[in-house]
Structure 1
Amino acid sequence: MPHIPERLRGSPLLVVSSLMFAVMALCARSVAGRLSVGQVVCARFAIGLVFLAFYFPLIGRRPRMGRPGLWALRGIFGGGSVYFYFMAIDRLAVGPATLLNACWPICAAILGIFILKEQVNGYLASGLVATTFGAGLVIWSTVQGGMSLTLGVGAWAGAASALLSGAAVIALRALRGDTDAASIFLSFCFFGLLFGLPFALQDWRPLSWDMLLPLLGVGLSSVIAQMIFTYAMGYVTAAAGGITTQLTPAFSWLLGALLLGEPLQPLSVLGSLVCMGGVLWGTGLVPRLLIPASRPSS
C-alpha cells in the first residue's frame, strides 16, 4: 500500500472499503441465477490472485507467512464466509443479504475481547449496539415486505457468513502485527478459490459475454475493498472496524434500490440512518464534535 497520511488511516479508509464491498455485492447480484455461487466465488478469488501475481514482483517483495497456521485459518474462514455470503446474495435481495453478513462485528468484538484482549469503551459499545439495532430494523422491514428470512437457505447462509467473517477478522487482526496486508490477502484468495472450486465444478453453467463485465466487477471491487480493509484493520480494533463497516449494508441497499430496482422500505431507510449514526458515534467522530476538548491549565 502507498504511504497514507495518518489522519486518513483506520476508519476513513474503512468507509471507502465499505462502499467497494457494496459495489461487489451489486455485481454479484446482477448474475444471480445465471451462474452458480461457486463460479462467482471462484471469479472473485481468481482475479485477486492475478492481481497479487503482478503486485508482489512490482514491489520487489515475497509474501510473508510468519505464522502459517494462523495465516491459513484466515483464508479458510474468509473463503467460507464469502461462499455463504454469495449464496445469500443469490437467494435474497442484495440489501438483506448484506445486512445478515454485517452481523459479523458482534462475533468479532466478543472474540476480540477474549482472544486479543482488546478494550471496548462506552462510545464503541453504544455505537455497536446502535449499528446492530439499525441492521435489525432493515431486516424487519424486509420481513414486513413479504420476504421471509427466518427459515430460508439464504438467511441461514447469511448467518453462517457472519459467523465465519467474525472469526476471519480476528485472525486478520492477530496477523497484522507482523504480516503485511498483501500477504494476508493472498491467504484469502488462495484458500477462497480452493473452497469455491468444487462447488463451481459441481454446478458449472455456461458463460456468456454479458456476464464477463459483472464478474470482472466482482473481482476488481473486491480486490480494492479487501486490500484497503486489511490495511486499515491494522489501525483499529476489531470492534471499531466492525462498526465502520456497518456502512456496507446501507450502501448495498441504496445501490440495489437505485440500480436493480429492489424494494426500499421506509423502515429500512431509518435503519440505515441508525447504522450510519452508530458509525459516527462509535468511532468517536460525533463525541469529538459535541464534547469540547479540555483546555490545558495555565
Structure 2
Amino acid sequence: MKGFSVPERWRGLPLLMFSSFLFALMALFARMLSGRLSVGQVVCGRFAVGLVFLALYYPVMGHRPRFGRPLLWSLRGIFGGISVYLYFVCIDLVAVGPAVLLNACWPIYGAILGYYFLKEQVSGPLLGGLVLTTVGAGLVIWGTSMVTSSLSFGLGAWAGMFSAVFSGAAVVALRALRNDTDPATVFLSFCVFGLLFGLPFALADWRPLAADTVGLLLAVGLSSAVAQMIFTYAMGHVTTAMGGVGSQLTPVFSWLLGAVFLTEPVAPLALLGAALCILGVLWGTGLLRKLLAPAAVQP
C-alpha cells in the first residue's frame, strides 16, 4: 500500500513465527525416533538432508556461497552443531514440550552475548527476564519429573539447558554474519559443522535403518532445513533479542503437538513454568512493555 511502511525490525516477525511451527514439527519427528535411532544418527540425518537441500538450492537460485568471514562462519556452525546435539539428547530423554521449552530460553543468553559482542542495546529489565526464565525452567524440570519415571530425566534437562546457551552463542554469530553473508551460506556452516560434530556419535552407536525411520529422518531434515532458512533470512531484519521473541511460539506448538500426537503428559506445574519462561523472554527483550504501552497519538 502506497505510503504505508513497516519498520524494518518488525518485518521478520511473521517469518519467525512460521519457522517456529516448522521447528516444532522437527522436534515432534525427532521424538518419534527416540529409542529407534541414536541421537548421533538423528543429528547426522538432519544436517545431511540440509546439505542435499543446499546442493539443489544453489544451482536453482544461481548463487554461490560467499565466505566473507571464515572464523565467524565456522563458529556459527560449531556452536550450532553442539547446540543441536544437546537439544536432540534432551528430546530423546524428555517429552517434546519441556525439551523445546528448555532450549527456547536461548534468547536471554543471546541477548546478553549480543550486548557484549555486537553492542546491541539491552534494556534494564533483562536481568528480571533472566530470573523469570530461570525459575520457569526450574518449574518445568520439577513438574515434568513428577510425571516422568525415567531416571535419565536429569541428564536430559541439563542437556536442554546447555543447548540454550550454545544456541544463544550460535544466533549471535548468525546475527553478525547476516550483515554481509546470505542466509544459504550461513546455513551451510550449520550443516557442515553439525554433521562433522554428530558423525562420531552416530558411528559409535549405529542402529539399523528401516523404511519408516528413514522417512522420519527425512521429515526431520526437511522441516529443519526450511525452518532454518526462513529463520536465518528473518534474522537479517531483527535484533538477536527480538528474534528470540518471535521464536517463543515453538514451545507452544511443540507442547500441543506432543500432547495430540504422542499423548505426552502435561504437568500443571510444568505449564506454569512454561508461562514464566515465555513471560521472562517477552519481558527481558522489551516486547511485553511495547505491547502494553498505549499507542502514540498521531497529530
Change (3 A) 1:247 1:147: farther
1:50-102 deviations in Å (ceiling 9; x for gaps): 11001111111101110011101101111111111111111222222222222
CA–CA separation in structure 2 for the residues paired with 1:268 and 1:77: 28
Provide the residue aligned with 2:3 in structure 1: none
Q: Identify which of 223, 226, 234 aligns with 1:224.
A: 226
Name the stretch that deviates more: 236-245 or 189-198: 236-245
Deviation larger for 90-99 or 190-199? 90-99
Asked if 2 retains the 8 angstrom alpha-carbon contact of 1:143 and 1:149, the reply is no
Instruction: Give the letter aligned to residue 46 of structure 2.
Output: R
The CA distance in 2 between the partners of 1:155 and 1:275, in whole Å, is 15
Match of 1:143 in 2: 145
Residues 126-275 of structure 1: pairs in structure 2 closer than 5 A: 133-146=135-148, 152-275=154-277
Partners of 2:251 and 2:128 in 1: how far apart? 19
The amino acid across from 1:110 in the alignment is: I
Deviation sequence 1:11-47 (CA, Å, 0-9, x none): 2221211111111111011011111111111110011
Preserved CA contact (<8 Å) 1:247 1:279: no
Q: Does 234-243 or 288-297 show the bigger shift? A: 288-297
Contact 2:20 2:247 in 1 (8 A): yes
Q: How far does the alpha carbon of each residue in 1:162-209 deviate from its partner, in whole angstroms, 9 at most, with x for none?
A: 221111111111101000111100010011111111111121110111
Partner of 1:85: 87
Question: Unpaired runs of 5+ in structure 1?
Answer: none
Q: 50, 53, 64: which is aligned to 1:51?
A: 53
Q: Partner of 2:115 in structure 1?
A: 113
TM-score, normalised to structure 2, is: 0.87
For residues 147-166 of structure 1, give each alpha carbon's deviation from its aligned partner in whole angstroms, at most 9, with x where no partner exists: 58998322232233122111
2:100 aligns with 98
Counterpart CA distance in 1 for 2:160 and 2:186 is 23
**In 2, are the aligned partners of 1:39 and 1:204 still within 8 Å (CA)?**
yes
Distance (Å, rounded) in 1 between the aligned partners of 2:12 and 2:127: 18
CA distance in 2, matches of 1:240, 1:127: 14
**What residue identity is the alignment partner of 2:186?**
I
Equivalent residue runs for 1:283-298 within 5 Å: 287=289, 290-296=292-298
Partner of 1:15: helix, strand, or coil?
A: helix
The one-letter code matched in structure 2 to 1:138 is V
Structure 1: which amino acid aligns with 2:168?
G
For 1:244 and 1:149, the matched residues in 2 are separated by: 34
Residue in 1 that maps onto 2:73? 71
Partners in 2 of 1:98 and 1:129 — Cα distance? 19
SS of 2:198's equivalent in the other structure is: helix
Structure 1 residue 106: deviation in Å?
A: 2.4
- CA apart distance, 1:279: 6.3
Change (3 A) 1:120 1:285: closer
State the superposition RMSD in angstroms: 2.7
Change beyond 3 A, Cα 1:121–1:151? same
Task: After superposing the two structures, state which structure 1 stretch, 204-213 or 26-35, moved more.
Answer: 204-213
Shift of 1:115: 0.8
Deviation at 1:236, TM superposition (A): 1.7
Rate the CA distance shift 1:289–1:66 in 2: closer, same or farther, 3 A.
closer
Q: Is the 8 A contact 1:240 1:282 kept in 2?
A: no
CA distance in 2, matches of 1:160, 1:116: 22
What is the letter of the counterpart of residue 240 of structure 1?
Answer: M
Counting matched residue pairs gives 294
Normalised to the residue count of structure 1, the TM-score between the two structures is 0.87
What are the superposed Cα offsets for residues 238-292 of structure 1, whole Å, 9 maximum, x if unpaired? 1222233232222212211111111012233334445555666667766555433
Give the 3-state SS of the residue equivalent to 2:294 in structure 1.
Answer: coil
CA pair 162-272 structure 1, distance change in 2 beyond 3 A: closer
With over 3 angstroms needed to count, the CA separation of the structure-2 counterparts of 1:280 and 1:91, relative to structure 1, is: closer
